[in-house]
Amino acid sequence: MTHDDLRGIVETALHEQDRDTLVARLADQIPADLADFIEHADDNRHRIELLMALPLQRRADTFGYLTLHRQQQLAEHLPIEVLAETMTLMPADERADLFKALDEDMRRNLYMRLARKEREDMRRLASYEEGSAGSVMTTDYASIHTGMTVREALRTLRLTAPDKETIYLAFVVDSAHLLLGTVSLRELILAQPDTRVDELMKRDVIFARTDDTQEEVAKRISRYDLLALPILNHDDTLVGIVTYDDAMDVAEAEATEDMHKGATVGKLDGSFAEVSPWSLYRSRVHWLVVLVFANIFTGAGIALFEDMIAAHVALLFFMPLLVASAGNAGSQSATLMVRGMATGDVTGKDWARLLGREIFVAMALGLTMAAAVMVVGIFRAGVDVAMVVALTMIIVVMVGSLIGMGLPFLLSKLRFDPATASTPLITTIADVSGVLIYFSIASLLLDLV
């Protein structure tokens, strides 16, 4: 049975209020697919019915795959007792994220219904600053104590496995919970039962601090191919881990944020499909208004050369082509630079080398585009105008490319996000400079000023 066929059966069962069919059809579905059904259900009433048709553990697993916006929305419609027992079985980091998203009254009611362990754990995780390693870590990690034998370590893992995020990597700690090393489940299984874990563990551990950024955590996990990254307090005690799947979520969220910044779109209150018109308006209006006023300079540049334009109207034919080429070249350069800086491939010390290379590449691009546009210029307006257009093309492509490469570096030096060097911003700067360059060259070569 295909996914679409199952969706049709589930939707029919929902509309007919056939709970037995729902329970039977959903029983063997994996949580990620169940979350997809819930996300695309017609309304919250049907979403609640789908959740309540699942066994408790499956419900908690599925709830964790929903977007935070959807979790918050459904939490407001679930009975508080049901929400409490569902959250109890969710991973600690997801539970803390949802708790922070709820309103004050619901948090208070929910807090009273959770066990002491979950309350303390959730309060601690919720206290970390948003975007930090502490805010995305989970406390459900597998730990074993120094001095244990392999036999004792495996027994400990068997007892604690159901409550842990992952047991494929165990963390060796002392009595003060200081991190001493790590040992993989594979190493434990292959070792002799009487071997001490201290003989197997890796002591050179890659870790992060609770106040490190979540971006840095994701980069370390990716760079060192880790299943999980231990998170330490400033007294070196182990307080949590960030797993590989959580790092992927962070990387996806950061990529989305950078794409939004690249289009001068602010942070949305929820997913794009669900966000309110007001939130969309608010996230987009600020930069658009700023860019409107910035484009006034383009109009002022044109007004400065009104007499020349009146004498050579053909120049206007090529103006959109030239300023667009400058903006396109700048956007390409900025995109490459911002991505290189985001991945760590490019740093500030690379500036001089990259500048020289960009000048060479921009010159080659400008010459190629000038050769193409000069042919059009000759047929459209004659050799004189064609020379103006060709020379302008070379210069504006170089200027646009250098602006696109330099602006991310400048913003980084000023401690702004380089992703703010967005396409609309680059295009606006290129438009203004392109108009001034174009008509200045025309004035000089056509001797009209």
What pLDDT shows up at residue 201? 93
Is the pLDDT at 344 greater than 80? The verdict is no
What pLDDT shows up at residue 414? 78
What average pLDDT score do residues 364-386 get? 87
Is the pLDDT at 206 greater than 90? The verdict is yes
Is the pLDDT at 448 greater than 60? The verdict is no
Query: For residues 250 and 253, what is the distance between their CA atoms, to the nearest angstrom?
Result: 5
What pLDDT shows up at residue 89? 85
Is the pLDDT at 219 greater than 90? The verdict is no
Is the pLDDT at 299 greater than 60? The verdict is yes
Percent of the chain scored above 90 by pLDDT?
Answer: 16
The answer to whether residues 99 and 110 touch, using CB atoms and an 8 Å cutoff, is: yes
For the structural domain made of 136-245, what CATH number should be given?
3.10.580.10
What pLDDT shows up at residue 1? 56
What are the residues whose beta carbons fall under 8 Å from the beta carbon of 135, sequence distance 6 or more?
A: 96, 97, 125, 128, 129, 214
Instruction: Give 64's pLDDT tier (boundaries 50, 70, 90).
Output: confident
pLDDT in tens, 173-193: 998 899 999 999 999 999 999
What pLDDT shows up at residue 111? 81
What pLDDT shows up at residue 303? 80
Amino acid at 5: D
- Looking from the CA of 315 toward its CB, the CA atoms found within 13 Å total 27
Is the pLDDT at 372 greater than 80? The verdict is yes
- Name the β-bridge partners of 202: 182
What pLDDT shows up at residue 302? 77
Least confident of 224-233, 281-290, 362-371: 281-290
Query: For residues 24 and 202, what is the distance between their CA atoms, to the nearest angstrom?
Result: 47
Secondary-structure class of domain 3-130 per CATH: mainly alpha
What pLDDT shows up at residue 138? 86
pLDDT in tens, 251-280: 777 777 666 666 666 666 666 666 677 777
pLDDT in tens, 74-98: 888 888 898 888 888 888 778 888 8
Backbone φ and ψ for 164, nearest 5 degrees, come out as -110, 150
Q: Which two tokens stand for residue 295?
A: 């484009």
Q: Where in the chain are the domains?
A: 3-130, 136-245, 277-446
pLDDT in tens, 139-158: 888 899 999 999 999 999 88
What pLDDT shows up at residue 147? 92
For the structural domain made of 277-446, what CATH number should be given?
1.10.357.20
Q: 144, exposed or middle or buried, with CB in 10 Å at 0-12, 13-18, 19+?
A: buried
What pLDDT shows up at residue 420? 65
Is the pLDDT at 24 greater than 60? The verdict is yes
Q: Which two tokens stand for residue 53?
A: 């048709």
What pLDDT shows up at residue 200? 93
Query: For residues 444 and 286, what is the distance between their CA atoms, to the nearest angstrom?
Result: 39
Q: What is the mean pLDDT of the chain?
A: 83
What average pLDDT score do residues 419-438 get? 79
Query: For residues 422 and 132, what is the distance between their CA atoms, to the nearest angstrom?
Result: 25
Amino acid at 205: V
What average pLDDT score do residues 309-321 get? 81
The CA–CA distances, whole Å, from 276 to 185, 206, 214, 268 equal: 47, 42, 27, 9
What pLDDT shows up at residue 153? 92
| Angle at alpha carbon of residue 46, lines to 43 and 48, rounded to 5° | 110
The CA–CA distances, whole Å, from 444 to 308, 388, 439 equal: 11, 9, 9
- The SS3 assignment for 447 reads coil
Is the pLDDT at 449 greater than 60? The verdict is no
pLDDT in tens, 2-21: 666 677 777 777 777 777 77
What average pLDDT score do residues 123-131 get? 82
Least confident of 110-114, 165-169, 300-304: 300-304
What pLDDT shows up at residue 272? 60
Is the pLDDT at 356 greater than 70? The verdict is yes
pLDDT in tens, 390-423: 999 999 999 988 888 888 888 878 777 776 656 7
pLDDT in tens, 35-57: 888 888 878 888 888 888 888 88
